[in-house]
């Protein structure tokens, strides 16, 4: 009986130098389709592009009918505008030169509606001055701190005052509330839901109060990948998962209820055998996201028992055990624990279709500036 070829195996892998990032467009398309079927209305989807940072992945979502996007950098916002994304939220409070760069995007890409976050009046006033000087109006969302404790203002009555103050500033226009709850990632969906609901309750209350005071119903942009299935069940809430596009070992393990496929890997090779039980791979800090513990940075699909024991800039040493049988030059297919920062380490991702290398997707928005 013939053994089925693993989905990830590349028949012409010898044409790829390593380390290399590879993506599987057919699986990416399936992930986009699965995202759309996981929500009642695709217009409530606002995927984050920080994971892939590429025009091609964005174009697949546009082709599937997704029209709203979220990003974290000016380069990501420009990349979205370059491929004709109609609605782009810069989910970051622009400060200093970033304000001017945002306004320049608004002036340059008139077919894209840009918006951004603010969490205080002073920054909003600075943005207002620049916007008035350019003759544009910037829609803004108030960034709420619902537990991440990195940006945003507490979801209390001070938000009502800030929203009112923003409505009176020229050059800016308050349109909604932003609540990112990336800290809520309990593996148990019921527990995750309870924590998420508690964090979201004051956000909904603020939106309802603002509407009762005569404002247009504020748009709520909420959540990321871990809480996507929870917010997807709410009415009138825009959801912002990002990792779904490629998925990774971390979320694939902890978010078992989500049906997304692994669609991006790193290719590495055995480059040395330092002793009888260890291998050295060309997969250093510069090639795989290194914020996790050493043992949890990558899982090798075709060698799951390898155990990382040391890593430096260009090298990863793994324990293979006695009599392992690996040879110098052997190819390993690595599933990153965290795909988002891993993608940012590569200027391109090689596309794999029907088991062969077919092209590349440039990780164009990993740079701080995009030069055309």
Q: Is the residue at 1 inside a domain?
A: no
Q: What is the pLDDT of residue 370?
A: 86
Q: Is residue 54 part of a domain?
A: yes
Q: Could you tell me if 271 and 130 lie in one domain? A: no
What is the average pLDDT across 118-140? 98
Q: Are residues 84 and 34 in the same domain?
A: yes
Examine the domain organization and report whether 323 and 241 are in the same domain. no
Q: What is the mean pLDDT of residues 17-45?
A: 98
pLDDT at 84 exceeding the cut of 70: yes
Rounded to an integer, the average pLDDT of 207-232 is: 98
Residue 286: give its domain's CATH number.
Answer: 2.40.37.20
What CATH number is attached to the domain comprising 154?
3.20.20.10
Do 344 and 238 belong to one domain?
Answer: no
Residues 212 and 268 in one domain: no
Domain match, 86 and 185 both? yes
Residue 368 confidence (pLDDT) = 87
In the chain, % of residues over pLDDT 90: 97
| Same domain for 179 and 115 | yes
Residue 372 falls inside a structural domain: no
Residue scoring higher pLDDT (232 or 3): 232
Are both 284 and 152 inside the same structural domain? no
As a whole number, the mean pLDDT across the chain is: 97
In a domain, residue 2? The reply is: no
Residue where a domain terminates, one of 195, 215, 247: 247
| Final residue belonging to a domain, choices 247, 272, 298 | 247
- Domain boundaries, position 200: 25-247
Share of the chain above pLDDT 70, in %: 99
User: Among the three residues 188, 222, 247, which one is the final residue of a domain in this structure?
Assistant: 247
Whether residues 242 and 276 fall in one domain: no
Per-residue pLDDT band at 3 (split at 50, 70, 90): confident
Residues 187 and 241 in one domain: yes
Flag whether 255 is in a domain: no
Per-residue pLDDT band at 206 (split at 50, 70, 90): very high
Query: Does the structure show a pLDDT above 70 at 372?
Result: no
The candidate with the shortest Cα–Cα distance to 240, out of 96, 61, 97, is 61
Can you tell me the distance from the alpha carbon of 303 to that of 333, in angstroms, rounded to the nearest whole number?
Answer: 8
Q: What was the pLDDT predicted at 4?
A: 86
Q: Looking at the structure, do residues 182 and 110 belong to the same domain, yes or no?
A: yes
Task: Report how many domains make up the chain.
Answer: 2
Per-residue confidence (pLDDT) for residue 57, from 0 to 100: 98
Kindly state whether residues 279 and 176 are assigned to the same domain: no
pLDDT band at 2 (very low <50, low <70, confident <90, very high): low
Q: Is the pLDDT at 334 greater than 90, yes or no?
A: yes
């Amino acid at each position: 009986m013939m053994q089925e070829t693993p989905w990830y195996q590349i028949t012409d892998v010898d044409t790829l130098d390593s380390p290399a990032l590879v993506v599987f467009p057919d699986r990416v398309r399936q992930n986009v389709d699965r995202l759309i079927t996981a929500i009642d209305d695709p217009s409530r989807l606002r995927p984050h592009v920080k994971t892939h940072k590429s025009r091609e992945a964005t174009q697949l979502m546009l082709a599937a009918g997704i029209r709203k996007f979220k990003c974290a950098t000016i380069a990501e916002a420009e990349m979205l505008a370059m491929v004709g994304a109609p609605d782009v939220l810069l989910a970051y409070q622009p400060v200093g030169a970033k304000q001017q760069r945002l306004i320049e995007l608004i002036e340059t890409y008139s077919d894209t509606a840009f918006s951004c976050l603010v969490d205080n009046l002073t920054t909003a006033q600075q943005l207002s001055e620049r916007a008035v000087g350019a003759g544009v109006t910037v829609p803004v969302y108030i960034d709420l701190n619902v537990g991440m404790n990195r940006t945003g203002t507490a979801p209390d009555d001070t938000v009502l005052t800030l929203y009112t103050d923003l409505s009176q500033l020229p050059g800016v226009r308050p349109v909604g509330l932003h609540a990112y709850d990336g800290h809520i990632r309990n593996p148990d969906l019921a527990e995750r839901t309870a924590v998420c609901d508690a964090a979201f309750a004051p956000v909904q209350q603020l939106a309802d109060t603002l509407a009762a005071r005569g404002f247009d119903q504020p748009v709520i942009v909420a959540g990321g990948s871990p809480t996507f299935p929870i917010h997807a069940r709410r009415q009138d809430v825009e959801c912002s998962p990002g990792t779904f596009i490629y998925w990774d070992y971390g979320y694939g393990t902890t978010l078992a209820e989500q049906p997304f496929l692994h669609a991006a890997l790193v290719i590495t090779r055995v480059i040395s055998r330092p002793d009888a039980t260890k291998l050295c791979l060309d997969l250093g800090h510069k090639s795989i996201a290194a914020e996790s513990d050493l043992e949890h940075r990558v899982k090798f699909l075709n060698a799951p028992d390898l155990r990382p024991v040391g890593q430096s800039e260009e090298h990863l040493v793994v324990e293979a055990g006695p009599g392992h049988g690996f040879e110098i030059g052997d190819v390993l297919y690595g599933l990153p624990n965290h795909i988002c920062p891993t993608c940012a380490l590569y200027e391109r991702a090689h596309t794999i279709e029907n088991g062969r290398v077919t092209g590349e997707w440039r990780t164009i928005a990993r740079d701080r500036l995009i030069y055309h």
